[in-house]
Chain A
Amino acid sequence: MAAILSIKDLVVDFKTRAGNARVLNEISLELESGEILGIVGESGCGKSMTALSIMGLVPSPPGKITNGSISLDGEDLVQASTARMRQVRGGIISMIFQEPMTSLNPVFRVGDQIAECVLLHEDISKADAWARAVEMLTKVGIPEPEIRARAYPHELSGGMRQRVMIAMALSCRPRILIADEPTTALDVTVQAQIFDLLNDLQRETGTAIIMITHDMGAIAELADRVAVMYAGHIIESGKTEDILTNPQHPYTRGLIACVPHLEENPTEDRPYLSEIKGVVPSLTELGKGCAFAPRCPYKTPICEEERPHIEAVDKTHSVACYNVKYVVAV
């Protein structure tokens, strides 16, 4: 399969009071058409910023894309004009956010908001746009879509609002959907509904999805491939199965091991959780070495000297760590 979106060596800098913060540091990613790519990592590691860069929405100032390219079918979005980006956003790439309440306009009916989005990108009549809105609401599983289309956002529950957001994002049949923590604000039972919905829609329409989350469980549920981020770097990427069962970067291993997983048949034996000691470093104070070095149990002298590059360990699996062989052997 061919990559429809390919990010190369993307660097995003933010000017802050404490100095320059390199929020994204030589990120490279490929999204193949029709796949679901997961991006995981802790708060502040740059997941949302990756999404905003793709959408051309990096807040500037204080932020700036200082290097790299984002190519959509060969067209570099970093260089694209504002007018072109407006076409791309919503038309080719669309995005849904964590908090569905704040991303819908409270004073308009949800149907109008979806129709408006369609009218912006397609040359069709108002009536057709409204019909499309209702059709989309049906598709995302909202009961009585004709009635619900006339509702205002506050009249819907959190799960419903997120469905509306998805309907709006998919209304112009985009080729890429970016979902930034779409279920963090929702209950587990509703979260499961949204996952199933995304899965079904993806299979039906073939839209490629970038799924941003801090929840390994959500990744396991949905993603075909995963990229793990730490302090502005991608430190490991590969097939979901490989990452979950055979993580190779010390951070990924720590991240997977520290989550208390729900067991179907728990026993009396309850060991303490394994911990990643220390805290995430401040982006303004990253040294020249591996960003994970201050917390890494496998660190060797070279780790603090030079930043490891992400390299392939096999055809589909890449890791940024000098000591992979040693880490895996332990």
Chain B
Amino acid sequence: MAVIESSQDIVQSQSPWREAARAFRQSWAGMLGIFILILVILFTFVGPFFYPVDPFEIIWAPLTPPGATERAPLGTDYLGRDILAGLIHGGPATLYVGLVAGIITITIGILVGAFAGFYRGMVDEFLMRITEFFQVLPALLFAMVLVTLFTPTIYVVSLAIGIVSWPTTARLTRAEFLRIRNLEYVNAARSIGAKNRRIIWRVILPNALAPLIVAATLTVGIAILFEAGLSFLGLGDPNMFSWGLMIGAGREYILDGWWVVTLPGFMIFLTVLGFSLVGDGLNDAFNPKLRER
């Protein structure tokens, strides 16, 4: 801890966030995660300029293995569509679902958790009963119902995933709020005339944010897997190319051509790994015990 010991030395001010950023840069896992994510993003967003092939177009014989022809370097799927093009064009949709579902999860989770933890009593009881209701629902089933009720567009899929996965975040937020609301600086804020709204959003939330950010990165990974699961069951958006869709569509041909599902699977694996490594790094960065010296 950098305590100002003597009054002679002018010390530069170090915001806790900046210290966390410094710690993150020193975290091996976090930096590797960032590196992986950058690779994935470059691959899917810059890839189309170098490899302008339509992933829906049939270009070669079905189930051509990787390396068999120059037209499809990573082979073709059961319709004869280019796998490499699929991998490149499937990225944005997958990342979109991950991020949007992640944001929905975090938003609902924080709102519910914050109010429950801050107001306690009846508000808490009520919100926690709702949270429990969502938690005991079989998530995948519920998402399937939502998606089949509406047309399975990418928005509906993101929303469905977000709606089924917020309870964990809500519980985490609530626990943090319950802890922090008893710290003396919250009472201090109240005694200098701060209103509840200010205490919730400006005093408690910033201090509760560290574990929530870690949870958020993990949520994105989970959402991506969820989307893959839905697509695998044929409940993804059929008009958007995603890695999940590739796996879902190719699942019957896994014995005839391992590459049809393995390659998009590998991309999902990389992305999820990237997000969880970043989550790990953030955890290190925010954990003052590890950061101390």
Contact = CB atoms under 8 A, between A and B. Distances in A.
Q: How large is the interface on B (under 10, 10 to 19, 20 to 34, 35 or more residues)?
A: under 10
Scoring B3, B5, B7 by chain A CB atoms within 10 A of each residue's CB, the highest score goes to B5
B293 A285 contact: no
A278 B293 contact: no
Nearest to B9: A285
A278 B293 CA distance: 25
A294 B3 CA distance: 17
A106 B7 CA distance: 44
A285 B2 contact: no
Contacts, number: 17
Contacts of A16: 293
B5 A282 contact: yes
Interface string A276-293: 001111100100000000
Contacts of A282: 3, 5-6
A279 B293 contact: no
A273 interface: no
Nearest to A284: B5
A166 B255 CA distance: 69
Chain B's interface: helix, strand, loop or mixed, by majority?
A: loop
Contacts of B293: 16-17, 62
A150 to B, nearest CB: 33
A180 to B, nearest CB: 21
A276 to B, nearest CB: 14
A278 B7 CA distance: 8
Contact of B5 (A17, A62, A280): A280
A279 B5 contact: yes
Chain A's interface: helix, strand, loop or mixed, by majority?
A: loop
A124 interface: no
Interface in A7-59: 16-18
A296 to B, nearest CB: 14
B2 A278 contact: no
B6 A279 contact: yes
A45 to B, nearest CB: 14
A108 B270 CA distance: 44
Interface in B52-76: none
B2 A281 contact: no
Nearest to A61: B293
Contacts of A285: 5-6
Interface in A242-288: 278-282, 285
A281 B4 CA distance: 9
Contacts of A280: 5
Contacts of A279: 5-6
A16 B291 CA distance: 12
B19 to A, nearest CB: 11
Interface in B144-168: none
A126 B6 CA distance: 57
Contacts of B5: 279-282, 285
A18 B2 contact: yes
Contacts of A278: 6-7
Contacts of B2: 18
A142 to B, nearest CB: 32
Interface in B1-39: 2-3, 5-7
A98 B5 CA distance: 26
Nearest to A14: B293
Nearest to B2: A18
A54 B249 CA distance: 68
A280 B3 CA distance: 11
Interface in B272-293: 293
Nearest to B8: A294
Nearest to A17: B293
A279 B7 CA distance: 9
Contacts of B3: 282
B16 to A, nearest CB: 16
Contacts of B7: 278
Scoring B2, B3, B7, B293 by chain A CB atoms within 10 A of each residue's CB, the highest score goes to B293
A203 to B, nearest CB: 42
A294 B5 CA distance: 11
A16 B5 CA distance: 16
Contacts of A294: 6
B149 to A, nearest CB: 48
A279 B293 CA distance: 22
A278 B5 CA distance: 9
Nearest to B291: A17
Nearest to A280: B5
Interface of B: 2-3, 5-7, 293
17 contacts: A16-B293, A17-B293, A18-B2, A62-B293, A278-B6, A278-B7, A279-B5, A279-B6, A280-B5, A281-B5, A281-B6, A282-B3, A282-B5, A282-B6, A285-B5, A285-B6, A294-B6
Given A281-B6, A282-B6, 12 more contacts: A16-B293, A17-B293, A62-B293, A278-B6, A278-B7, A279-B5, A279-B6, A280-B5, A282-B3, A282-B5, A285-B6, A294-B6
The 10 closest A-B pairs by CB, nearest first: A282-B5, A16-B293, A17-B293, A281-B5, A279-B5, A62-B293, A285-B5, A294-B6, A281-B6, A279-B6
